[in-house]
Amino acid sequence: MATVRHDWTHEEVRALFEMPFNDLLFKAASIHRENFKPNEVQISTLLSIKTGACPEDCKYCPQSGHYKTDLERERLMEVEKVVEQARLAKQKGATRFCMGAAWSDPKDRDMPYISKMVKEVKELGLETCMTLGMLDNDKAHALSDAGLDYYNHNLDTSPEYYQQIITTRTYQDRLDTIDNVRDAGMKVCSGGIVGMGEQAADRFGLLMQLANLPQQPESVPINMLVKVKGTPLEDVEDLDHFEFVRTIAVARIMMPLSYVRLSAGRTAMNEQMQSMCFFAGANSIFYGDKLLTTENPEADADMNLLKKLGMKPEERHDYSDEAYEASLSSAIADKATSELFYEAN
């Protein structure tokens, strides 16, 4: 199993990005094969449970209340409707259900509903993930007590470029939320967005920040900017696709035990580019026709692509209490049988 480092330097990351393309992909693919089943992809579904009117000014986001987009604002979804969407996602092959709300941070009045969503989605046997903005320590522990598995809070970009993208919360605010999530015992989903007009050095800086966290995120979404009319980044220059694949490969090398998720922007990628990302170490995707409010490839198209590549969705164990108790009983029985065998021999 690969060694996980937390002391990456800017020069080391630059050297990885500047490797010959084939050498870089070979190195990333080799590390991927050492730590994961190379032909399996973890499938997640992302649902917007509260849409629009966000007070943050993230320049890439159509949900920001600062910009005029065609997005319709929606209140927090009813728990029953969220659970029904989770049930459908599981039927289509998802193993993790992610719920996102356009908030700066969840308010006290929202927490009972959020906690109930987590509990009822988990009862379906799905992993649960939420992205609700900033969390203080108390709210992080409340979500953990409800059974939330993952909390998503992206760093978005490098510390140096961050103020060009967001001014309503600081980089340290994001790091503090991740610390609170860890302190509450939950897993972290954290990545960023590339193609926002940043320099190559900012992509180096983003991955270095993620890899050098005290504990690397279990899940690292790498998003390609989806340009939305009405946002300040609607006319930014497209990122070269080879540079995006390099970012995936370097993320895999630097965070060998993390799931690297090929996330937003896949509708602009042909099958060949997505396949190259899988070879470079991406082993997770969002599944379904929407990523919060932006387009995503249709589920059938994803399944057809995986079939062409000889790949399949990753199978995960059932996370329901009944399944856990059953597996625990089985493990105890196996241990007892093993002990009897050794006593007899």
The reply, when asked if residue 261 is annotated as ligand binding, is: yes
Instruction: Give catalytic status of residue 129 as yes or no.
Output: yes
The reply, when asked if residue 58 is annotated as ligand binding, is: yes
Instruction: Give catalytic status of residue 277 as yes or no.
Output: no
- DSSP annotation of 128 reads E
The reply, when asked if residue 73 is annotated as ligand binding, is: no
The reply, when asked if residue 98 is annotated as ligand binding, is: yes
The reply, when asked if residue 277 is annotated as ligand binding, is: no
Instruction: Give catalytic status of residue 61 as yes or no.
Output: yes
Active site residue: 96, 169, 189, 277, which one? 189
Contact 164, 202 (CB under 8 A): no
97 residue type, one letter: F
Active site residue: 96, 129, 169, 277, which one? 129
> Any idea of the CA torsion for 19, 268, 219, 42, to the nearest 10 degrees?
-110
Nearest CA among 124, 141, 145, 143 for reference residue 132: 143
In whole angstroms, give the CA distance from residue 281 to residue 259: 9
DSSP string, 47-78: EEEEBS-BS---TT-TTBTTS--SPPPBPPPP
Active site residue: 169, 174, 261, 266, which one? 261
Contacts of 22 (CB under 8 A, 6+ apart): none
Nearest CA among 31, 32, 12, 1 for reference residue 311: 32
In whole angstroms, give the CA distance from residue 255 to residue 250: 8
The reply, when asked if residue 129 is annotated as ligand binding, is: yes
Strand ranges (E), 111-155: 127-131, 150-152
The reply, when asked if residue 189 is annotated as ligand binding, is: yes
Binding residues: 54, 58, 61, 98, 129, 189, 261
Give catalytic residues, as residue numbers: 54, 58, 61, 98, 129, 189, 261
Binding residues for [2Fe-2S] cluster: 98, 129, 189, 261
Binding residues for [4Fe-4S] cluster: 54, 58, 61
